[in-house]
Structure 1
Amino acid sequence: MAIIFLLLILSSFTSLVLSADQNDDYSVLLKIKEQLGNPPDALPEWVYGFGFCNNVTDVHSFVACTSTGRVKSLSLFDLHLSAPFRQAICDLIELEYLSIFLIYDLCGPFPSCINKLINLRSFYVGDTNLSGPVPEFLNQNNLTQITLSNNNLSGSIPSSLSKLQNLEYLNLYNNSLTGAIPSGLVPAPSAEINLSHNRLTGKIPRCYGWVNFENLTGLVLNNNGIYGKVPNSIANASVLSWLNLSSNRLCGEIPQGGGTILMYMTTIHQNNDTYSSPSFCSDSFSLLMVDSILLNLPDATKNCSEISYDKLLGADSLQF
């Protein structure tokens, strides 16, 4: 009897703790709304007493919970407000998926408290006016996806991203980032990287993490100031589906090797220097573009099982 009584006490205590934790997240959500200025036409469900773990969805938000009643996923989108990124979000300590997008007047830098969200798996913040540096993500070893596209971020890409061993997808498209691309940027065995439409300079790194291009599925670096030659290690890119190096200052040839097949293209550089570069394709390859406005595809294309011309990036005209 004493053991049963003790178990009942422990069970009741656990329920109280879980209830307190749920109340904490409930209070945090209301605090987030308050810090956003309590927008009158947004987040109408977020009021005292609302059941946030019931997959609450409205036209501007989505909330989902873990089995223990903690906020696991939070999405905020298409809100018409002007406010900084709210620090209260950092108090959702069980958060795994965060999406904030289409809030064009969300401004200011990311708060350093982002590093408190150690359970993050996906971090998506896009189409805002956020500025300042890319977060370093010092403690987020579970992160598999980072998307920070269409913002106003500046500074260099933090080398700390190379320590995120599970990171598979990095999208920093259309910001104002500068400096060179860090080596070992995405260390996962299968990776896709989009750093296009920034102000990056320097050379293309010889490897991305330990994959050395061979497991890289996508590399999009167009519209930067990257210079030099394409590294020979790109010849190992047997599963590459997307490669866009257009509108940079690259020179020389695309290295060939492995299962790649040459397709010669004439390229016209932005500074009017003209040179020739080969491209390649493999069974999984969709399309390659390298600083060209005129692409000539010879008979070598018959050896490519599939090339999706409708996915062409960066060409003004084609000539077959």
Structure 2
Amino acid sequence: MAPALSDILRITSSLLVLMLLMFCMGAINLEAQVGNLAPDEVEALLEVATQLGKRGWNRNMKLCNNTKLPLKPDADNEVVCNCSFPGGTCHVVAIYLKRQDLNGSLPKAIEKLPHLKHLDLWANYLSGNIPPEWANTTLELLSIGVNRLTGKIPGYLGRITTLRSLNIQNNMFSGTVPPELGGLVNLENLTLSANYLTGELPQALTNLNGLKELRLSSNNFTGRIPDFIQRWKQLDTLEIQSGGFTGPIPSSISVLTSLTDLKISNLLGDGSDFPNLESIAGIKYLYLTWNMFTGPIPDWINERDARYGIDLSYNNFTSEAKYRETLNLFKSTWGGNYSKPVEFLIVCSE
């Protein structure tokens, strides 16, 4: 027997009530997730905007999104809040303002955001130096590369012991690397490339036992690559191209068996034998051009996985290696040129 019309209406009404309740509960949950940004942090964000030269922020707009960290790498105009605090209060945990044409200075008001963990101001026109107020923060990621920052790297950066990633590349920082950076015991990524840094690396950097990525290219350092690099057992990326260092590459580099990306080029000096890298089996990119290496090319070069790139161009080897597309030997032997065409190009890192 077909159900009566009254039964159908009763079932339909019940379903509508249930759907309405679910919608309301969802709305209540959403409101709880979004919450309210702490008033003092609203004022701090407006100060940050003024100091950066960021336009468009005001008290009447939603200043941040309740999103989990880490954000996608392409996030470039985002303020992230954590709204899981008691009472539904939100706190700013990340600011991403990349490629925003900001022409102000690094904001002192960052100190007023006590929950801030990520600050990414990559590729703007910011000038000046790093404010001393930042030493009071608990940042974990600090990216201020590709700006117009000047002066010396301040030693008080070493007081931000929570830092895991520090990137200040492509600025105009000068002077020596402060030994206080050795206090960044949680640091995993240190990128100082493309500045005007001078002198030798401080011994205090041996404390960075968790370092995984180190980039020092395009500076004016002096002396040799320090032997203490052997302390960085977890290092998987080492880039020192045109850094000003004098050869040879220290033999202790052979203990860095976690390396997958090794780029050392343009070492100064009279030349040296090729370093012993055979034990570093996981290297995917080996870029050792313009180092005036002498002696034979080691046999293990021929045995490496042909999928991975090796560039030994512009050296003074006394022997040649077997040709393959992923091995660049252009002008790698003394007084001659390698006869095969060069078809391999190293993929440059950011």
TM exceeding 0.5: yes
Cα distance in 2 for partners of 1:202, 1:159 equals 16
Which of 55, 59, 73 is matched with 1:48 structurally? 59
1:73 alignment partner AA: A
Q: CA deviation at 1:194?
A: 0.4
Q: CA deviation at 1:294?
A: 9.9
Residue by residue over 1:237-277, the C-alpha shift from the partner in whole angstroms, topping out at 9 and shown as x without a partner, is 222222222112143224427x53xxxxxxxxxxxxxxxxx
Cα distance in 2 for partners of 1:115, 1:245 equals 32
2:301 alignment partner AA: T
Instruction: Map 1:1-320; keep pairs closer than 5 Å.
Output: 22-37=38-53, 39=55, 44=56, 46-55=57-66, 61-66=77-82, 67-68=84-85, 69-103=90-124, 105-117=125-137, 119-136=138-155, 137-185=157-205, 187-208=208-229, 212-250=231-269, 251-256=271-276, 259-260=278-279, 282-292=281-291, 300-305=300-305, 308-309=308-309, 312=311, 318=330, 319=338
Residue by residue over 1:191-231, the C-alpha shift from the partner in whole angstroms, topping out at 9 and shown as x without a partner, is 221000011111211113xx525432122111122114322
Aligned position for 1:9: none
Cα distance in 1 for partners of 2:306, 2:177 equals 34
1:234 alignment partner AA: I
Cα distance in 1 for partners of 2:197, 2:146 equals 16
Cα distance in 2 for partners of 1:94, 1:84 equals 21
Aligned position for 2:12: none
Question: SS of the counterpart of 1:32?
Answer: helix
Question: SS of the counterpart of 1:221?
Answer: strand
Cα distance in 2 for partners of 1:224, 1:51 equals 45
Cα distance in 2 for partners of 1:200, 1:127 equals 20
Q: CA deviation at 1:313?
A: 9.0
Q: CA deviation at 1:92?
A: 1.4
Q: CA deviation at 1:108?
A: 1.0
**Cα pair 1:63 1:73 within 8 Å, conserved:** yes
Stretches of structure 2 that go unaligned for 5 or more consecutive residues are: 1-34, 315-327, 331-337, 341-350
Q: CA deviation at 1:37?
A: 4.2
Question: SS of the counterpart of 2:159?
Answer: coil
**Cα pair 2:273 2:293 within 8 Å, conserved:** no
Question: SS of the counterpart of 2:198?
Answer: strand
Cα distance in 1 for partners of 2:245, 2:190 equals 18
Cα distance in 2 for partners of 1:50, 1:312 equals 52
- Residues 1:298 and 1:128: Cα distance change in structure 2 (over 3 Å): same
**Cα pair 1:294 1:317 within 8 Å, conserved:** no
Work out the number of aligned pairs and report it.
272
The share of aligned pairs that are identical, in percent, is 27
Cα distance in 2 for partners of 1:180, 1:59 equals 36
The TM-score, its normalising length taken from structure 2, stands at 0.68
- Residues 1:176 and 1:314: Cα distance change in structure 2 (over 3 Å): farther
2:77 alignment partner AA: S
1:171 alignment partner AA: T
- Residues 1:233 and 1:184: Cα distance change in structure 2 (over 3 Å): farther
Question: SS of the counterpart of 1:98?
Answer: strand
Q: CA deviation at 1:307?
A: 5.3
- Residues 1:179 and 1:292: Cα distance change in structure 2 (over 3 Å): closer
2:45 alignment partner AA: L
Cα distance in 2 for partners of 1:312, 1:190 equals 25
Residue by residue over 1:49-99, the C-alpha shift from the partner in whole angstroms, topping out at 9 and shown as x without a partner, is 223342499996211112331110011122334322221122212111110
Question: SS of the counterpart of 1:70?
Answer: strand
Larger Rg: 2
Question: SS of the counterpart of 2:273?
Answer: coil
The TM-score, its normalising length taken from structure 1, stands at 0.74
Aligned position for 1:271: none
- Structure having the higher helix fraction is 2
**Cα pair 2:257 2:281 within 8 Å, conserved:** yes
Q: CA deviation at 1:167?
A: 0.7
Cα distance in 2 for partners of 1:125, 1:226 equals 25
